[in-house]
Chains A and B, each alone.
Chain A
Amino acid sequence: MTACYFGEGAVAEGAFHESLNLAELWQLPVLFCCENNFYAMGTAIAVEQSQTDMTAKAASYRIPALAVDGMDVLACHNAAREAVYHVRNGGGPFFLEFRTYRFRPHSMFDPELYRSKDEVEHWKERDPIRTFTDRCLGDGALADDDIAAIRRCAEEELAAAVAYAEAGTWEPVEDLDRDVMAPATAEALQ
């Protein structure tokens, strides 16, 4: 099966509608995953979507769909499990809308003029990593030591990746036109 990720902004593109129509018509094993964080870069969803319920759009193509609390790790996991089972077992396409939020600016150049700091702080109270951690501690599934070990592991992995990248070399300029065409073609054109 194929899992296809996109934001709610991309839903406005004709490509989205064509893709869902084709997937349902031809019963293609595609899991459509919409990460709805309510802003397409700096454009709020109500400004650019006449229908802000993404699952309703999937339903209009007769594709089964679930809206999921994207800030809840377990809810996401459960919904994905159901969707993947459906797609993998010949059920045709499935559509998941993960309702979530972006805490940071879209990019380094984004001055965030389009939303209030209060709104951001309000959503931060539902930080999925923090809430899931609290739940695991509260349920006794994990202890403080486990949390610390997980955090340390992640930091080490990141540090190692950064070190590897920084120790690497730039691709030679001589390789600029490598892989434009298949090697046999490139050779023939020499």
Chain B
Amino acid sequence: MSKTTYRTAVHDSIRDAMLADSRTVLMGEDVGAYGGTYAASKGLLKEFGPDRVRDTPLSELGFVGVGIGAALGGLRPIVEVMTVNFSLLALDQIVTTAAALRHMSGGQFSVPLVVRMATGAGRQLAAQHSHSLEGWYAHIPGIKVVAPATVADAYGMLPTALADPDPVIIFEHVQLYNTSSDTDSLTPTDIDRAAVRRAGKDVTVITYGGCLPKALDAADELSLAGIDCEVVDLRVLRPLDDETMITSVGKTHRVVVVDEAWHTGSLAGEISARIVENAFYDLDAPIIRVCSEEVPIPYPRHLEEAALPQKDKIVAAVKSLFGQFS
């Protein structure tokens, strides 16, 4: 047993994919000579050469488009968009081209493209570098959207995504790269199911990505207060695993959804709607959402902390479901 970081898991997964399949190529800003903004592709340019590891100009629309073309032409590209903030420049390619080509062509075109993006806040990178827009992508038919929150998923989701004949967007939360866990061996994982990270009987805490550690910390603290949380890591944001969520709600009857996106129009809203649609009579209390405050994410540390979901807010939300207001 040794400790592996999320970053290393991502790196090794890309490397293993490129070793296993010569059709797999990596392109994006600073993935080559710089080694990746988050060091996730360090050494890969040297090992695989400039044909397979390509540094791109600052042209998100252009190089995502090239990735689509490459996928159409038989390659299995990994396009890295540095962060979800910059991906907005490529929305037309992802939403209006990649996601739509299969349906528009009656199945004649397949776009086996993987787009990896860093996402989220917490590093004082301020308003233009701190978005959580996974929910926007989860809105779009024709693609899959995943959010690995554990070291095992950071490694395991990529090969499955690469094997998928449709576009898959992988979101890596910036606060997760330095996290680590003991790992025996890292293997491919599914990209269909949510995972119960902590079993419990009193309340279901549903979350994904960078909020998972906060939810688990909150669950630890709440257990000292006699509240037993079941923490569900969505893992896959499109398609959502309704079965796992509904089964949990059937057991606990109370739900808190933790989502780093802004409150209004959040994916947490979609999850709430699904629970109401499918498990209304299992609920003993309204669903509570813990999301970001509706402000552009601030630069000063204390304001950024106040804007984002935190362990304390999750604890308070859960306690309120049990009439505990501290």
Contact of A21 among B57, B142, B166 (CB under 8 A): B57
Instruction: Check B61–A18 contact: CB distance below 8 A.
Output: yes
The answer to the question of A43 belonging to the interface, with a C-beta cut-off of 8 Å to chain B, is no
* Chain A hits for B63, CB < 8 A: 18, 22
The answer to the question of A182 belonging to the interface, with a C-beta cut-off of 8 Å to chain B, is yes
Chain A contact surface mostly: helix
* Chain B hits for A188, CB < 8 A: 192
1/0 per residue, CB under 8 A from A, across B36-60: the answer is 0000000000000000001011010
Query: In chain B, residues 59-104, which have Cβ atoms closer than 8 Å to a Cβ of chain A?
Result: 59, 61-63, 65-66, 69, 92, 102-103
Instruction: Check B102–A15 contact: CB distance below 8 A.
Output: no
Query: In chain B, residues 150-166, which have Cβ atoms closer than 8 Å to a Cβ of chain A?
Result: 164-166
Residue of A nearest to B105 (CB): A179
* Chain A hits for B110, CB < 8 A: 182
1/0 per residue, CB under 8 A from B, across A159-190: the answer is 00000000000000000001111111100110
* Chain B hits for A189, CB < 8 A: 239
Instruction: Check A182–B239 contact: CB distance below 8 A.
Output: no
Interface footprint category on A: 10 to 19
Instruction: Check A181–B57 contact: CB distance below 8 A.
Output: no
* A178-B107 contact in complex given A15-B65, A188-B192, C-beta closer than 8 Å: yes
Instruction: Check B57–A25 contact: CB distance below 8 A.
Output: yes
Report how far A179 CA is from B66 CA in the complex, Å. 23
Residue of B nearest to A183 (CB): B107
Instruction: Check B65–A179 contact: CB distance below 8 A.
Output: no
Instruction: Check A180–B59 contact: CB distance below 8 A.
Output: no
Contact of B65 among A19, A25, A178 (CB under 8 A): A19
Report how far A13 CA is from B61 CA in the complex, Å. 11
Instruction: Check A182–B62 contact: CB distance below 8 A.
Output: no
Query: In chain A, residues 1-55, which have Cβ atoms closer than 8 Å to a Cβ of chain B?
Result: 2, 14-15, 18-19, 21-22, 25-26
* A182-B106 contact in complex given A18-B61, A21-B57, C-beta closer than 8 Å: no
Instruction: Check B103–A180 contact: CB distance below 8 A.
Output: yes
* Chain A hits for B106, CB < 8 A: 179
1/0 per residue, CB under 8 A from A, across B90-128: the answer is 001000000000110111001000000000000000000
- Smallest CB–CB gap between B205 and chain A, Å? 26
- Smallest CB–CB gap between B89 and chain A, Å? 8
Instruction: Check A182–B165 contact: CB distance below 8 A.
Output: yes
* A181-B166 contact in complex given A22-B66, A189-B239, C-beta closer than 8 Å: yes
Report how far A189 CA is from B193 CA in the complex, Å. 11
Instruction: Check B102–A181 contact: CB distance below 8 A.
Output: yes
* A181-B142 contact in complex given A15-B65, A22-B66, A188-B192, C-beta closer than 8 Å: yes
- Smallest CB–CB gap between A186 and chain B, Å? 10
* Chain B hits for A19, CB < 8 A: 62, 65
Other than A15-B92, A180-B103, give 9 A-B pairs with Cβ distance below 8 A: A2-B69, A15-B62, A18-B57, A18-B65, A21-B62, A25-B57, A178-B107, A179-B105, A180-B141
Interface residues of B (CB under 8 A from A): 54, 56-57, 59, 61-63, 65-66, 69, 92, 102-103, 105-107, 110, 141-142, 144, 164-166, 192, 239
